[in-house]
Structure 1
Amino acid sequence: MGNELDVGSLRGWLADVLAEDLDGGVDATSHATVAATAMATGDVVARRDGVVAGLALIEPVVRLAGDADCDVVLRVADGDRVRAGDAVASVTAATRALLTAERTLLNLLCHLGGIATETRRWVDAVAGSGCAVRDTRKTTPLMRRLEKYAVLCGGGVNHRMSLSDEALIKDNHVVAAGGVAAAYRAVRAEYPGLVVQVEVDTYDQAVEAAEAGADLLLLDNMDVTELRRVAAALGDRVTLEASGGLTLDRAALVASTGVDYVAVGALTHSAPVLDLGLDLRTAPEGG
């Protein structure tokens, strides 16, 4: 996917997300406490250091919450590092719409910023090795596009977006097909133009898959010694990706083995959020 967020294609999805918060009604608290004519300006502020992602979502969420004329000023760009206390964006809108949008908007920005921040930590850890940090399909259902975009904001690269983008022959496919080479031949025969990656657990499987013609090898749960052995033998013939059991404190060591990628499911399935808040700085009229 590209490095820019296609907000237009997400509008319907965002409407559904906001509708879940309203559950067929209105924001009762905001409607009771804030005049319909009141306007306010709010700042989206970082509560801790990190990397931001998803800022283009601010405007459509506020518009969908009830103010088609809201004004959003971005103070930073997606992928920028921010410090606690930094304002990342300012929004001027009808106060009711701004307050209605607040939690939905922060949920999205905090989650995506957390992924971008965690990705940047891994990217920094392997800097200078020539190895890239890659995500997986271990994403939240219906949020894969956003989460993978956040990985890009953190300096990582994307693996396949869907099961149809490229083939990944995993251990269960190998069992079902009767072997690594047999599984590869079956996929290649059915989809001759598709990139084919093969998951392998041992050096011998890696050699078999490379000789069969695999484009990429997913080296699953191999120790550093085995990774170096595979890279020395096959690194000039096939792209190599280390996966499984990776931790941040060992990232540089694994990257130094000669692999092209480290695949990190934790980027999307367990990254802590980047804490952000919305602070009103002008009081609503008549509120």
Structure 2
Amino acid sequence: MILQKEIEHFLEEDLREDDVSCTLVKNQSVSAVIFVKEDCVVSGLEIASAILDYMKIGYVLKKNPGENAKAGDVLYELTGDSVSVLRAERLVLNFLSHLSGIATNTAGYVKIVKDAAGNSAPKIAATRKTTPGIRKFEKKAVLDGGGDPHRQNLSDMVMIKDNHIEIMGLENAFLEAKRQTSFSKKIEIEADTKEQATKAAEIGADIILLDNMTPDQIRETIGLLTGKNLRNRVLIEASGGIRKENLKDYATTGIDVISLSAVTNDADWIDVGLDIVKTD
């Protein structure tokens, strides 16, 4: 869901009373196209369309979220008054460029793990290291790229991390989480060692996050869990120190999920343009 107040907040940053750059042209009906200048996976269409609707700009959508686009492909055919089109241009292009970049980047990670591990490939998931204010759009872009959005916020799941364990101890933190949490929510425990991972599985964690482990350490940990008949009771997530360069090694360890901030934070913006093609 995209709220009107969100769109107005985004527009407020750009629009002011003394906007001469858009009003210096005679207001008239125009036709325009929005197009990509490089190959990409398309994302950001929902927020772009909501902005166009708000500005009363008519459009025909030519692509769907998550669809591949080639350089030169048109995303939108627009009709509207010239001032509105000029005012909406940069905001719409910024979202399409940024979010399509995340979707394209995510798709690259997904392809690497699938090429390495086939049907047993782990999911590629985002983290909460997102741009403040537009997390839900960035998470949707990850989804459009074939990844998993992971948690949208702290309330989606209980995650017991190293600082919780340092303060309370692993088991005490888990028991307190169980006491305060509905049966409907999963509890994840971060583990730095195979011993912590084993303990987390034994006490009933739903998910175990293997933090900053090497591929060999992960294989050893999974082997230990398997030997104790614990592996099938938990989902195994890995995070920390994982990059495109070593992604194949992690993809074949037997984990279920790889989470990394690089899918959002290392994404290049896609070059997207808007051209007026006809004036009345």
Q: Same fold (TM over 0.5)?
A: yes
Correspondent of 1:160 among 151, 154, 166: 151
Please tell me the root mean square deviation across aligned C-alpha atoms, in Å: 1.4
Trace 1:112-123 onto structure 2 (pairs within 5 A): 112-123=99-110
Indicate whether 1:81 and 2:68 are aligned.
Answer: yes
Question: CA shift at 1:249, angstroms?
Answer: 2.4
Counterpart of 2:235?
239
Q: Deviations over 1:101-125 (max 9, x none)?
A: 1111111111111110111001111
Structure 1 CA distance for aligned equivalents of residues 20 and 216 of structure 2: 61
CA contact (8 A) 1:232 1:258 kept: no
2:81 pairs, out of 94, 99, 103, with: 94
The structure with the largest helix share of the pair is 2
In the alignment, the residues of structure 2 paired with residue 26 and residue 258 of structure 1 have an alpha-carbon distance, to the nearest angstrom, of: 59
Give, in angstroms, the shift of residue 26 of structure 1.
4.9
Q: CA deviation at 1:233?
A: 3.0
> Aligned partner of 2:165: which letter?
V
| CA distances 1:30-81 after superposition (whole Å, capped 9, x unpaired) | 201x212x1111111111111111112233313434xx2x221111111011
- 1:169-184 mapped onto 2 (5 Å cutoff): 169-177=160-168, 179-184=169-174
Q: Structure 2: how far apart are the matches of 1:10 and 1:248?
A: 36
Q: TM-score under structure 1 normalisation?
A: 0.90
Fraction of identical pairs, as percent: 37
Name the CA shift for 1:17/1:26 in 2 (closer, same or farther; >3 Å): farther
Structure 1 CA distance, aligned partners of 2:79 and 2:232? 55
Does the CA contact (< 8 Å) of 1:210 and 1:237 recur in 2?
yes
Q: State the secondary structure of the residue aligned to 1:136.
A: coil
Matching residue within 3, 10, 18 for 1:10: 3
Q: Which SS does the other structure have where 2:65 is aligned?
A: coil
User: 2:124 — aligned with what?
Assistant: 133
What code does the residue aligned with 2:90 have? R
Quote the Cα distance in structure 2 between the aligned partners of 1:131 and 1:124. Answer: 11
Structure 1's unaligned 5+ residue stretches are 1-5
Aligned to 1:145: 136
**Cα separation, 2, equivalents of 1:58 and 1:191:** 37
Structure 2 distance, partners of 1:59, 1:132, is: 29
For residue 232 of structure 2, give the secondary structure of its aligned residue in structure 1.
Answer: coil
Residue 273 of structure 1 corresponds to 269
Q: Which moved more, 1:202-211 or 1:231-240?
A: 231-240
Larger mean Cα displacement after TM superposition, 257-266 or 56-65: 56-65
| Per-residue deviation, 1:11 | 2.2
TM-score, normalisation: structure 2: 0.92
SS of equivalent residue, structure 1 residue 197: strand
In structure 2, the residue corresponding to 1:61 is in which secondary structure? helix
Corresponding residue number in structure 2 for 1:3: none
**Does the Cα contact within 8 Å between 1:44 and 1:277 map onto a contact in 2?**
yes
The alpha carbon displacement at 1:89 in A equals: 1.5
SS at match of 1:79: coil
Q: Secondary structure at the match of 1:236?
A: helix
Name the counterpart of 2:43.
53
1:238: Cα distance to partner? 0.9
The AA in structure 1 aligned to 2:107 is R
Give yes or no for contact 1:58–1:72 (8 Å, CA) kept in 2.
no
Task: Give the ranges of 4+ consecutive aligned residues of structure 1 lying more than 6 Å apart after TM superposition.
Answer: none
- Once residues 25 and 125 of structure 1 are traced to their aligned partners in structure 2, the CA distance between those partners, rounded to angstroms, is 49
Q: Which residue of 2 aligns with 1:27?
A: 19
Which residue of 2 is the match for residue 206 of structure 1? 197
Whole-angstrom CA distance in 2 between matches of 1:104 and 1:192: 40
